[in-house]
Amino acid sequence: MSKQTRKPVVILMADDDEDDVVLTRDALQEARVINEFHSVPDGEKLLQFLRHENDYANRKDLPLPGLILLDLNMPKMDGRTVLKIIKNDPDLRTIPVVVLTTSDAEEDIIRSYSLGVNSYIRKPVIFSAMVDLMKTLGTYWLEIVELPPA
Amino acid sequence: MERGSTKLGENITLQTWILSGYAITLVAILIYGWSMFYSHQELQKSNQRLEQNHLIMVQAIALTRQVVDMETGLRGFLITGDEDFLEPYRSGRLSLATSISDLSRLIQDDIGQLNTLAEIERIVSEWHLRIANPEIHLRYQINRGELPLIRVSEVVQKRIGKKLMDTVRQHINAFISHEQKRNERRRLATEKDSENILYLSLLGALAAILIGATVIMIVIRSAAGPLTRMAETMSQLAKSSDFQLTADMVPSVQKRFLSKEVLLLNNTFYTMASRIDQSIKALNNEISQRKRVEVRVRNYSKMLAESNKDLESFAYVTSHDLQEPLRKIRAFGSRLQTQFAPALGEQGNDYLIRMISAADRMQQLINDLLALSRVTSKAKPFIPTPLSKTIEEVISDLETTISQASGIIEVDTLPTIHADSVQMRQLFQNLIGNALKYRHPDRTPEIRILNCGKVEEDGEFYEFTVSDNGIGFEQKYAKQIFGVFQRLHGRKEYAGSGIGLAICQKIVNSHNGHIHAQSEPDKGTVITIRLPLSPIKDDTHEQTNT
C-alpha cells in the first residue's frame, strides 16, 4: 500500500567511468529497478546537480535524488571531498550515499564511514554480481527503508 | 768479473778493500824502511871507505917520515960513525916495509897506486943497494981506519942518494895527492849521498802518508759515503708522510771504488725504497679504486633497491589498474552473451566464449601477480610463529581437498621461528596444495613434512622438507618451477597459472632463507626449505604499497 503512495526515488550516480554508468544502468534494468536514473562525471557536477546550478538548474526534470551512488576516484573533485561537503550540508546530508568503488583500501573504507557514508560497496567484477547488487540495493533502499521526505 | 763492463771495485768486497789498502800501505812502508836501511848501509860503507882513505894517507905520510928517518939516520952515521944513528935508519927501513905492505893491502884495488907503491919500493931498495949499504960499509971501513974520513964528504957530495930519495918523495907525494883527491871525491859523494838520503826519507815519508791517505779515502768512499747517503735518505723517507722516493733522494752512484757489499747494499736499498714507494702508490691507488668501487656498488645497490621497489609497486599498480578495463571486457562480454547470443550465431558465440575465457584467465593472472606482489607489499612484521600450528591450520583449510583425494599427511613437530605468520601459512598452503594437486593417479597421496633440525650455514637455520609421492618432474626443471608463470603441464591437465612456487620462493627469500626442489618423474618431489631461526628483516621488504 505505502509503496504506491511513495514518490518514485531518483537514483544519481557519480562516476567518471562511462562504462560503469552503462553497466550500472543495464544492471538496474536487469534487476528490474525502474527508478529514474541520472549520472554525473565528477564531484563538481554532482554538487551542481544537487544544488540545481548551471546545467542542472531545471528542478522539474532533474529532481533531488533519493539515493546517490558515489565513486571515490573522480577527476576535478573526488568522491571523498564531495562526500565531506554533502554530509556537512544540512540540505543534502539526509540523502543516503552509497560508495561504489574499485578501491579496497582500508583507509578509504574507514574514512568514508567516518564522513557519514551509508554503505561502502566494492564494484563487482562480474556483471551478474552487479545485477544481484542492484537488485539488493533496490530492495533495501527503495523498498525496505523509510527515507526522509525529499 | 762476472759481467762484462763492471767498474773497478764492483766485485771487490769491503773486506778485500780494507785488507788490500792495509797491504798497499804496509808494502809502501816496507819499501821505504828497506830503502832507508840500504841507504844507511851505503853511507856507512862510504864512511868506511873515507876512514880507510884516511888510514892510507896517514900511512903514506908515515912513509915520508920513514924515508926521512932513514936518510937522516944514514947521514948521521956517515958523519959521526956512531952506530946509534943507524937505529932510526934500521927502524925506518923496517917500518917502511911494513907501511908499504900495509898500504898495498889497503889499496889493493887501485892498480895505479899499487904501481906507484911498487916504484917507491923499488927506488928505496935501489937506494939501499946502491947508496945506503955501500955508504954504511964505507963508514965501517973508516971507523976501522981502513979508509980516510974524507971519503964521506966525497960520497955525500955526489948527491946520488939525495936524488933517489927525492924521487921517492915525489912518488910518495903523488901517491898522497892521488889519495887526497880520491878522499875529496869520496867525501863529496858521501855528503851528496847523505843529502839524497835525507830527501829520499822525506819523500818516502810523504809518499807513505799519501798512499795511506788515499787508501783510507778509498775505503771511506767505498763504504762510508754511500752508507751516510743511504742513512740520510732513510731518515728523509722515514720523516716523509707518504714514503715517497723523490728523484733527488737517489744519488747518482759513483760506482768506481765502491765495494761489492756497499754497492749491493746501495742498489738493494734504493731498489727496495723505490719498490716500497711503488707499492705504497699502488696500494693507495688500489684503496682509492676500491673506495670508488665501493661507492659505485653502494649506489648500484641503492639503485637496485629503488628499482626493485619501483618494479614491485609497478607490478602492484599495473595489475590493479589492469583489472579495471578487464572488468569491463568481462562485463560487456557477459552482456553480449546474455542479451545477444541468438544474434551472434554459432561461430560468434564460440569466439565470444573464447574471449570471455581469455579475459577470465587474464583476471586470474592479474590476481596471481597481485598475490605475488603482496608478499612484499603486504608484508607483516616478523613474530614468533609456531610452524606446527600454522600447518595444522593449513591442513584444516584444505580438509575437503585432502579427504577428496584420501591423502595422508604426516607432520613432524616443527619449531617456532621468527617470521611473517600469514606468509608462512601461505607457504605451506601452496606446498601442500601442490602435493595434492600433482598427486599420482595410481597412488594414495602421501605427504610428509619433516623437521631436519638446525643447520649451520652463515648463521643458524632450520631445515625442513615437504615431500610427496606424486607425479614428480625431471630434475632439470628444478629451478624453472620457481619462476613466475612457469608451468610444466598444459592448462587442461592441471589448472593454475604457475604462480604458487614463485610465491613460495619469494616468501622464503624475504625471510632470508633458501628453497629448492628435488624430484624424479613418477616417484615424487621433495621441497627443502631453510629458514633462519631469527631472520634479520631486510629493509627492502618493509615498504608498504597501497
Of B175, B161, B186, B185, nearest in space to B62 by CA: B175
Q: Are B480 and B486 in contact (CB under 8 A)?
A: yes
**Chain A closest-CA separation from residue B315 CA (Å):** 17
Position B294 scores a pLDDT of 92
Name the least confident of A25-34, B107-116, B417-426: B107-116
**Chain B closest-CA separation from residue A144 CA (Å):** 28
Report the percent of chain B where pLDDT is more than 90: 5
Task: List phi, psi (to 5°) of B297.
Answer: -60, -40
pLDDT tens for each residue of B27-48: 888 888 888 888 888 888 888 8
Name the least confident of B344-353, B367-376, B433-442: B367-376
Position B318 scores a pLDDT of 74
- What is the rounded average pLDDT of the residues A49-78? 85
**Chain A closest-CA separation from residue B329 CA (Å):** 10
In a domain, A97, yes or no: yes
pLDDT band for position B540 (50/70/90)?
very low
In a domain, A150, yes or no: no
**Chain B closest-CA separation from residue A109 CA (Å):** 13
Q: Of the candidates A20, A107, A128, which has its C-beta nearest B334's C-beta?
A: A128
Name the least confident of B146-160, B242-256, B349-363, B436-450: B242-256
Q: Are A84 and A99 in contact (CB under 8 A)?
A: no
In a domain, A96, yes or no: yes
In a domain, A10, yes or no: yes
Contact assignment for B330 to A128 by CB distance below 8 Å: no
**Which chain A residues are closer than 8 Å to B316 by Cβ?**
none
Position B526 scores a pLDDT of 93
Is the pLDDT confidence value at B278 over 80? yes
Contact assignment for A23 to B330 by CB distance below 8 Å: no
A23 touches chain B (CB under 8 A): yes
Contact assignment for B330 to A127 by CB distance below 8 Å: yes
Position B8 scores a pLDDT of 55
pLDDT band for position B197 (50/70/90)?
confident
In a domain, A19, yes or no: yes
B317 touches chain A (CB under 8 A): no
Tell me the residue range of the domain where A59 lies: 2-143
Position B249 scores a pLDDT of 67
Contact assignment for A130 to B331 by CB distance below 8 Å: yes
Q: Cell numbers for B75, please give them.
A: 947521514
In a domain, A148, yes or no: no
- What is the rounded average pLDDT of the residues A105-118? 87
Contact assignment for A127 to B323 by CB distance below 8 Å: no
Task: Provide the 10 A C-beta neighbour count for residue B63.
Answer: 26
CATH number at residue A56: 3.40.50.2300
CA B464/CA B115 separation, integer angstroms:
144
Mean pLDDT of chain B: 82
B544 touches chain A (CB under 8 A): no
Q: Are strands A119-122 and B383-386 parallel, antiparallel or unpaired?
A: unpaired
pLDDT band for position B3 (50/70/90)?
very low
Q: Of the candidates B324, B330, B546, which has its C-beta nearest A126's C-beta?
A: B330
- DSSP string of chain A? -HHHHSPPPPEEEE-S-HHHHHHHHHHHHHTT--S-EEEESSHHHHHHHHHT-GGG--TTTSPPPSEEEE-S--SSS-HHHHHHHHHH-TTTTTS-EEEEES---HHHHHHHHHTT-SEEEEPPSSHHHHHHHHHHHIIIIIIISPPPP-
In a domain, A117, yes or no: yes
CA A57/CA B466 separation, integer angstroms:
69
- What is the rounded average pLDDT of the residues B380-407? 87
Is the pLDDT confidence value at B86 over 80? yes
Is the pLDDT confidence value at A123 over 60? yes
Q: Are B467 and B528 in contact (CB under 8 A)?
A: no
Position B267 scores a pLDDT of 80
Q: Of the candidates B335, B363, B546, which has its C-beta nearest A105's C-beta?
A: B546
Is the pLDDT confidence value at B545 over 60? no
- What is the rounded average pLDDT of the residues B459-466? 86
Position B191 scores a pLDDT of 86
- Helical spans, DSSP H, in B378-404: 387-397, 399-404
Is the pLDDT confidence value at B4 over 50? no
Position B93 scores a pLDDT of 84
pLDDT tens for each residue of A88-98: 888 888 888 99
B335 touches chain A (CB under 8 A): yes
CA B65/CA B59 separation, integer angstroms:
10
Of B305, B301, B308, B306, nearest in space to B373 by CA: B308
Position B527 scores a pLDDT of 92
Q: Of the candidates A19, A123, A126, which has its C-beta nearest B334's C-beta?
A: A126
Please state the domain count of chain A.
Answer: 1
Is the pLDDT confidence value at B528 over 50? yes
A127 touches chain B (CB under 8 A): yes
CA B286/CA B396 separation, integer angstroms:
60
